[in-house]
Amino acid sequence: MPQFTIDLPDAILPALTRKAAGWHQTPEGFLSSYVVLCLENDEQAAVDPAREALEDILEERDKGPFITITDMKAYRESIRARVMGRIQQS
């Protein structure tokens, strides 16, 4: 198996160690797994146009605009009304 040497800033080591501990791995093992997972996801996204379209939609929504909810009860009822309207259209 190929081996690589990665120089990381000292400031990132505590965060990397915490992440690795959460996955019950060494920092080196966590980085290896993370790189493999990222590369596999990139390959799958390139093959799956539906996934790529969904990611584009989510990125656009993440940009905003965001609303301030002042009345949670009224907000939930408006969502329920829209959902019921869509269900009845089907």
| Any domain includes 89 | no
| Any domain includes 75 | no
Listed in sequence order, the residues at least 6 apart from 6 whose beta carbon sits closer than 8 Å to its beta carbon are 31
* pLDDT number for residue 46: 65
pLDDT grade, residue 4 (50/70/90)? confident
Distance CA 13, CA 19 (A): 10
DSSP 35: H
| Any domain includes 52 | yes
Span between the terminal Cα atoms of the chain, in Å = 54
* pLDDT number for residue 12: 92
* pLDDT number for residue 71: 94
Among the listed residues 16, 55, 12, the one whose alpha carbon sits nearest the alpha carbon of residue 35:
16
| Any domain includes 56 | yes
Tell whether omega for the bond before 2 is within 30 degrees of 0, i.e. cis. no
Domain tally, the chain: 1
Query: pLDDT by residue (tens digit) across 32-72?
Result: 999 998 888 777 666 678 878 898 999 999 998 888 999 99
